[in-house]
Amino acid sequence: MAQRFNEVAAQAHKDPQGFWQEAAKDVIWMDEPKTILDDTNPPFYHWFPDGTINGCYNAVDRHVVEGRGDQNAIIYDSPITDSKRTITYRELQDEVARCAGMIAAHGVGYGDRVILYMPMVPSAVIGMLACARIGAIHSVVFGGFASAELAKRIDDAKPKLILTASCGIEPSRIVSYKPLLDEAIEMAAHKPDAVILEQRPQAIAEMIAGRDFDWADEIGKAEPADCVPVRSGDPAYILYTSGTTGMPKGVVRPTGAHIVALKWSMKNIYDCTAGDVYWAASDVGWVVGHSYITYAPLFEGCTTVIYEGKPVGTPDAGAFWRVIAEHKVRAMFTAPTAIRAVKKEDPDGALIADYDLSHFKYQFLAGERCDPDTLAWCEEKLGVPTIDHWWQTETGWSIAANCMGIEPLPVKSGSPTLPIPTCDVQVLDEGGKQVANGEIGSIVVKLPLPPGSLSGLWQNDARFIEAYMADFPGYYKTGDAGYLDEDGYVYVMSRTDDIINVAGHRLSTGGMEEVLAAHKDVAECAVLGVDDALKGQVPMGFVVLKSGVSRAGDEIIKELVADVREKIGPVAAFKLAVIVARLPKTRSGKILRGTIQKIANGQEFAMPATIDDPVILDEIADALSHIGYPLSQ
């Protein structure tokens, strides 16, 4: 029986090292750690520093040894290619061991880097696990990423080897990866020794003799490799996240701590145990794909789903429900953007009735702020708890969550609930002092961070301190703004950059977005600050309407302005809104607010490397011109 959350959290706060020492007993160590936390060199904290462990053994081999070899480890479902495949734990063990042998045969050893530039296919996960098996450090780059951005990552990680595929497949086009990769290697100062490429029949890539090797040929002659002991504090992987300087930051994930934390999270946050089917509808190129497609479900002995498709258009807005029903998914995790896309196409949720969701217990949302309207739609239409939780690439897993495996807590709309045990979340003003409950400030986490969080940036300690530790000494700066309520619930309102100053009043754009999203005709929206000669900044709303709405746009905008005035007050000075066909997003679904803001202010901007469709920016500019923006025109 689950202990009450408050009891667990209180004990964890009292003795965080004891809490994580107990959790570490649930993983398989080669040499158990004698030290739980090395805190001798703040802000560089290291959990379980003197243990040795292997991530691949914990994800794959242990389950074969423990008698679950015939259980499905992976379900691959690709509506884009109309193909499906299941891989048992025993089959996965064999494929990963051979892939590890293939990598080793090309000179990759302990501590060497391997870049994966892959679509959503089983080989991507197999390649990640193969690196973990031999102690190599993988760095996954989202498939189809622009050559210039890929070149930066090649130069920073200096990989010996790149694993790739000939193409990725979108609903309306094929994205050939090889020309992008060739250009990136040409641009990069560092040259990998070899490229191993999986040929997909939708686009056969040309190979460069002496450098490029065919995946099927190489793995066919590879000798299986065993798991090697990995020092707990050594990196499992490097994952690059955007940097304000234009140079991405290489987040380093320490091996032992990430195994302990992610395995703990599967039972305690997601309420999933060995044998359950768990699905994170993301991509292996993002942190969600690392933590909750590849590693956490396999650490726990669950079945993980690799989905090569979209929430809509493959073939319709019932795609998610089809996967959940067909594969008997217990818990699913996606971004609010994906749900809003489904809701836009099927606002009444009519397609849900076509599927048997009796095995489905939880819908988890994260990746961006979840507006209350999206959460309410999910709960009403799906009939299961919809759990908002908050975390970042840097943390690797939840900062705040409703821990369903410990004790479901009351849901407060707009909040990811309480900080996870041992995570001391506080809200500070610009001077570093705690603010009152309900007052917006910078959300920080008191050091040390829980296990599984970044241990630093790849070969750049100075930037690690500058980016995360310098502004609030003794705390990790999340870069998010928000508040805590009287019960300690966390409310993440926006990035700190999205707090706008209107005539001296600090206002959250997230609060205004919440009001707009609640309007019956609005599918999704974004609010950001635009320049104003009198007030410094004023908020402007960008609104996408639900499918089938035929009312006059001017009428809807008047209602939206009135709603914000009523629910937030005249101080918001919300008078500007524009209806657009769609919002520019990254391929992971995050709205490109900064780019929209630059267009509205008439500023120059670089084309975002991760943008889903650049044409949308022209549409935004055209819509703005009709209301007289930018003012400099």
pLDDT digits 0-9 by tens, 75-92: 999 999 999 999 999 999
Query: CA-to-CA distance for 500 and 447, rounded, in angstroms?
Result: 28
Q: Does position 1 have pLDDT exceeding 50, yes or no?
A: no
Q: Which residues pair with 492 in a beta bridge?
A: 482
pLDDT tier at 588, thresholds 50, 70, 90: low
What's the mean pLDDT in 133-137?
A: 98
CB 539 within 8 A of CB 507: yes
Look-up of token digits 């949308």: 616
Q: Does position 244 have pLDDT exceeding 60, yes or no?
A: no
Q: Does position 633 have pLDDT exceeding 50, yes or no?
A: no
Coil vs helix vs strand at 81: coil
The pLDDT value recorded for residue 592 is: 86
Q: Does position 262 have pLDDT exceeding 60, yes or no?
A: yes
CB 507 within 8 A of CB 536: no
The CATH number of the structural domain formed by 5-309+389-482 is 3.40.50.12780
The CATH number of the structural domain formed by 503-625 is 3.30.300.30
The pLDDT value recorded for residue 463 is: 95
pLDDT tens digits along 47-70: 999 999 999 999 999 999 999 999
Query: CA-to-CA distance for 215 and 356, rounded, in angstroms?
Result: 39
Tell me which residue of 537, 494, 489, 533 sits closest to 512, measured CA to CA: 494
Structural domain spans, the chain: 5-309+389-482, 503-625
Q: How far apart are the first and last CA of the chain?
A: 65
- Across the chain, mean pLDDT equals 92
pLDDT tens digits along 590-601: 788 888 988 988
Coil vs helix vs strand at 502: strand
The pLDDT value recorded for residue 505 is: 60
Output b/e per residue, 103-141; b: 16+ Cβ within 10 A. bbbbebeeebbbbbbbbbbbbbbbbbbbbbbbbbbbbbb
pLDDT tens digits along 341-355: 899 999 999 999 999
Query: CA-to-CA distance for 135 and 111, rounded, in angstroms?
Result: 6
pLDDT tier at 632, thresholds 50, 70, 90: low
The pLDDT value recorded for residue 2 is: 44
Query: CA-to-CA distance for 193 and 226, rounded, in angstroms?
Result: 23
Q: What are phi and psi of 275, to 5 degrees?
A: 95, -20
Maximum separation of any 2 CA atoms in the chain, in Å: 71
Q: Does position 611 have pLDDT exceeding 50, yes or no?
A: yes
Lowest mean pLDDT, pick from 410-419, 495-504, 604-613: 495-504
pLDDT tens digits along 354-412: 999 999 999 999 988 788 889 999 999 999 999 999 999 999 999 999 999 999 999 99
Q: Does position 245 have pLDDT exceeding 70, yes or no?
A: no
Residue 322 token pair:
């089809």
pLDDT tier at 435, thresholds 50, 70, 90: very high
Q: Measured between alpha carbons, how far is residue 352 from residues 80, 339, 511 in Å? A: 21, 13, 30
Query: CA-to-CA distance for 150 and 177, rounded, in angstroms?
Result: 11
Q: Measured between alpha carbons, how far is residue 375 from residues 280, 292, 338, 480, 485 in Å? A: 17, 21, 12, 20, 19
